[in-house]
Every structure is written in structure tokens, then in C-alpha cells.
Amino acid sequence: MAMATSASPFPSLSLLSLRRSPAHAGRPLGHHHLRFRGCRAIALLSPTPPPAPERKPILGLPAVRRREASVAFAGFLLRLLGSPLPAIADDQGECALTVAPSGLAFCDRVVGTGQEATKGLLIKAHYVGKLENGKVFDSSYNRGKPLTIRIGVGEVIKGWDQGILGGDGIPPMHAGGRRTLKIPAVLGYGTRGAGCRGGSCIIPPDSTLLFEVEFVGKA
């Protein structure tokens, strides 16, 4: 069942499938260090972009460096210990979150009865991504088709791989299931953020991300 969302205010091309080219692994993301599968990632970074291609989703930037991840995770733990973890509210009411040792929090709104998500499986998933202030930064529903990914092999942020595949006390999702994920920065985009240009970022550094994920099924 599709969830109603507001139209995304961001550019027609987002960041989910961005990757570092092998020659530049470990170096900061720059104008010439990003590529899509099979094409250069220039639409967000070039001052004279070509006509906007089909909108891409925003989950697959590389993992942050270990040192940056440690700093971000320490900050997350301090915030977590300082106040109780709130529930996430949407049109279907609140959903009590369970926090895994990694810091990833989840809540199953609908437990699926179809195929279980397993490492390397090509799946289709709908999602809505929000910042903690409720601002939607990406939605597959707005594009009219689910995201196709191979789960558990690093194609998306770690919070998605763990949140769908399971592990660390989190059960795997099954086709037909819908799950709320609250992803700390260390399992998301870390201290770098994402979609940054001209001093502003679609996803600011050290952002906790909220996702409503619907596991449609095997692709």
C-alpha cells in the first residue's frame, strides 16, 4: 500500500546510486570522483548540467571512514543516553522502536509473509526518507516505481542493508512487510552528509535518518 508523501523539494537527480570510482577510493568526493553505474555523476555537481535524466534514489554513497564513523557514533550514544528514544509518528500512528546494539532502531508496521531477504538477493523496495525534523528528502513513491537493489552487498547505506537483511538482533524482512528504520549517522552518511553544494546539503552532516521501507519482493 503506497504511503502518501509530499513532493520532494530536491533536484530531479539524487544520490542513492552514487559511487566512488575505484581509482579514487578513500579520497574526498569531488567533481570528478563520482560516477553512476555506466555514466558520470555530473547532474548535481556540474555548473552547466545536461538535461535532467530519470530521477535516481539516494542511498548508496560509500561508507564513511572509520575515524569519522567513531566520532559520529560517539555523538549518537551521548544523545541516546541523554534522553529516551522517541517513537516515530506517521499517518498510521506511532510505532515503538527497538534499538539494536549498532544504534539502528526499527519497528515492524506489517510483518511480511513472502520471501525472506537474504544476502545478495535482488529485491524491489518502496521507501520514504526523512530527516529528524520531518522533511522528506527522497521518496520512491513520488517517482512511481520501487527501488531495485541487491541487498547486503554494499549497494546502499549500511543502515538499509542491516535494516532489511537483519542481524545484530534485527529480524530479516519478508516480502510484503513494511518497517520503520531510524538510522544513526554512522550507518548513513556520517560526518560528510550527502547532496552538498554551495554550502548546503540535502542530508546535512551527522544526520539521523528516518525511513519507511516497504519490501515489495524479489526483483
Enumerate the active-site residues. Answer: 127, 137-138, 157, 189, 211
Helix (H) or strand (E) holding 147: strand 147-150
Quick one: DSSP state of residue 52?
Answer: -
Query: Parallel, antiparallel, or unpaired: how do β-strands 98-99 and 93-95 relate?
Result: unpaired
Give me 104's grid cell: 539502528
Which residue bears the cell 523496495? 125
Identify the burial level of 75 via C-beta atoms within 10 angstroms of its C-beta, where 0-12 means exposed, 13-18 middle and 19 or more buried: middle
Residue type (1 letter), 46: S
Grid coordinates belonging to 134: 520531518
CA atoms of 146 and 31, how far apart (whole Å): 28
